[in-house]
Amino acid sequence: MAAIFARRGGSRVTIVEKTADGGRKILISGGGRCNVLPEAIEPDRFVTDSPRPLLRRMLRSWPLRGQRDFFEREVGVPLAFEADTRKWFPASNRARDIRDGLIALARREGVEFRFNTDVTGLHRSDGRWHVETTDGAIDASAVIVATGGLSVPATGSSGAGLEIARRLGHVVHETYPALTPLVAEPPCHAALAGVSLDVRVRAKSTREAIESRGGWLFTHRGYSGPAVLDVSHVAVRSRAAGDVSVRVQWCDLDADAWREALASASGLVVNVVARRLPQRLAEQLLIEAGVPPDRRVAELRRSERAALVEHLTTYAVPWTGDEGYKKAEVTGGGIALDEVDPRTLESRRCPGLFLCGELLDAFGPIGGHNFAWAWVTGRLAGRGAAAVSR
Ligand SMILES: Cc1cc2nc3c(=O)[nH]c(=O)nc-3n(C[C@H](O)[C@H](O)[C@H](O)COP(=O)(O)OP(=O)(O)OC[C@H]3O[C@@H](n4cnc5c(N)ncnc54)[C@H](O)[C@@H]3O)c2cc1C
């Protein structure tokens, strides 16, 4: 995106890309379908330790309507809105169409590609940038660093850009895996692997709290699904301090509603619970709440009812860790937003250096927000770089 807009601004542009084809994260995104944009951009749901007005300003610079038109008319990929998840995907449901479409558009615009080439260093002398690569040095009037963060290193993002920025004197806020599954060791819920449902999750520490509603998935190692991923950064950031709790309400019934449901029902307790929850989960929660599997509603003891209602509405998830960068959809933290000019994303420390994408200190929730961030900041950086390099 940055290269396309830099080229449109009249610059000669070369992309230096370490993998053989680039955009590999796009290929694996959205389960291979690429959730390319959200229904609406919600700046308040983004996470950053930088000043929020800067984040809002950057996000506002390219309204969603314009981004959708760009993909449909210029990249040439029709998009489809999925009503139940409220997300935009390529109508073909093929992530590859987005990746290949962007590369094809960049080529049509005249961008030169150097694949299988690693940027190893960056320095400035005599008012020019010198980009050191595994295939020789490149001299440039402007450089855009769009190397991503540390998440899923197999896609090419190893944190090289963060290191380069640090060496150039930039403030880099502490990084951490975000939108990453949680694990339990020992894996006490492995028998529930594959069970999924819509829940409400709350993660709370002494420094922050977040709530999310949506899909929950039991995995062999722990817990995943959009609702878990969206709160995972609070768990990850506070784990070392040991002051974080993750609690789940398994369906839309709160404690009062469950008490009423139990009071007005008859038959086995497990069947009452399984009317709202997957059977295997209902059985597990009864065991953990200390309610015998053959307990009838009429015989439910007061203490059993209290424990069961607590397990149904404020269940304390027995997580012990997270999947880290290996599975994190994004990197939290990164180059502080006040290190760049919000209009152009030019570094405030190094003239002619532009920074964009996951490298910067911001990420959004699941649902297309992180690509929106990449598209928006890529466009700003591309335009900014073109303005100084013409
Ligand atoms: C499994 C998964 C699913 C996701 N699904 C979605 C989704 O559906 N919707 C959504 O909005 N977001 C999704 N995301 C997040 C989204 O993919 C990222 O936010 C986005 O790709 C970040 O873009 P970027 O260009 O900043 O970095 P990246 O996409 O990481 O691109 C960085 C590029 O720089 C290259 N590079 C790195 N270092 C060097 C170097 N030294 N020299 C040369 N090249 C280098 C890399 O090879 C890579 O091609 C997903 C992420 C993952 C991991």
Question: What is the reported pLDDT for 389?
Answer: 84
Question: What is the reported pLDDT for 212?
Answer: 97
Q: What is the pLDDT of residues 326-364, one digit of tens each?
A: 999 999 999 999 999 999 999 999 999 999 999 999 999
* Total residues found in the chain within this entry: 390
Q: Closest Cα to atom 22, ligand 1: which residue?
A: 358
Q: What is the pLDDT of residues 33-81, one digit of tens each?
A: 999 999 999 999 999 999 999 999 999 999 999 999 999 999 999 999 9
| Residue 34 CA, closest ligand 1 atom number | 8
Q: What is the pLDDT of residues 71-87, one digit of tens each?
A: 999 999 999 999 999 99
Q: At a CB cut-off of 8 Å and minimum separation 6, what does 104 contact?
A: 75, 76
Shared domain check, 204 and 136? no
Last residue of a domain, one of 264, 297, 322: 322
Residue 65's CATH number: 3.50.50.60
Reported as half-sphere exposure (CB side, CA atoms, 13 A), residue 222 has a value of 22
From the CA of 111, how far away is ligand 1's center (Å)? 20
Q: What is the pLDDT of residues 204-223, one digit of tens each?
A: 999 899 999 999 999 999 99
Q: Closest Cα to atom 49, ligand 1: which residue?
A: 22
Shared domain check, 34 and 103? yes
Q: What is the pLDDT of residues 221-236, one digit of tens each?
A: 999 999 999 999 999 9
| The pLDDT of residue 183 is above 80 | yes
Shared domain check, 367 and 309? no
Shared domain check, 205 and 89? no
Domains in the chain, number: 2
Q: At a CB cut-off of 8 Å and minimum separation 6, what does 21 contact?
A: 103, 115
Output the pTM of the full model. 0.96
Shared domain check, 284 and 336? no
Q: What percent of the chain has pLDDT over 70?
A: 100
Last residue of a domain, one of 322, 351, 369: 322
| The pLDDT of residue 13 is above 80 | yes
Q: Residue 108 is part of which domain span?
A: 2-177+330-389
Among 14, 17, 29, residue to substitute to test ligand 1 (most atoms within 8 Å of Cβ): 29
Q: At a CB cut-off of 8 Å and minimum separation 6, what does 259 contact?
A: 305, 309
Shared domain check, 315 and 185? yes
Question: What is the reported pLDDT for 239?
Answer: 83
Shared domain check, 157 and 12? yes
Question: What is the reported pLDDT for 265?
Answer: 94
Last residue of a domain, one of 272, 302, 322: 322
From the CA of 134, how far away is ligand 1's center (Å)? 21
ω into 226 cis (within 30 of 0): no
Give the C-alpha separation, 323 to 181, whole Å: 6
- Answer whether 129's CB lies under 8 Å from 122's CB: yes
Q: What is the pLDDT of residues 247-298, one digit of tens each?
A: 999 999 999 999 999 999 999 999 999 999 999 999 999 999 999 999 999 9
Taking CB atoms and a 6 Å cutoff, what residues make up the pocket around ligand 1? 16-19, 22, 24-25, 28-30, 34-35, 118-119, 146-148, 151-152, 155-158, 160, 329-330, 357-359, 368-371, 374
Shared domain check, 241 and 142? no
Question: What is the reported pLDDT for 390?
Answer: 63
Strand partners, 268: 296
Q: What is the pLDDT of residues 87-104, one digit of tens each?
A: 999 999 999 999 999 999
| Residue 359 CA, closest ligand 1 atom number | 26
Among 88, 93, 147, residue to substitute to test ligand 1 (most atoms within 8 Å of Cβ): 147
| The pLDDT of residue 308 is above 90 | yes
From the CA of 377, how far away is ligand 1's center (Å)? 13
* 242 compared with 132, residue with greater pLDDT: 132
| The pLDDT of residue 164 is above 70 | yes
Among 24, 27, 329, residue to substitute to test ligand 1 (most atoms within 8 Å of Cβ): 329
DSSP 8-state code for residue 328: -
Shared domain check, 247 and 380? no
> What does the DSSP assignment read for 330-367?
EEEEEE-GGGB-TTT-BBSSSTTEEE-GGGBS-B--TT
Among 15, 19, 25, residue to substitute to test ligand 1 (most atoms within 8 Å of Cβ): 25
From the CA of 153, how far away is ligand 1's center (Å)? 9
Using 50, 70 and 90 to split pLDDT, how confident is the model at 243? confident
Shared domain check, 203 and 127? no
Shared domain check, 166 and 81? yes
> What does the DSSP assignment read for 55-68?
HHHHHHTS-HHHHH
Question: What is the reported pLDDT for 241?
Answer: 74
Question: What is the reported pLDDT for 281?
Answer: 98
Shared domain check, 385 and 258? no
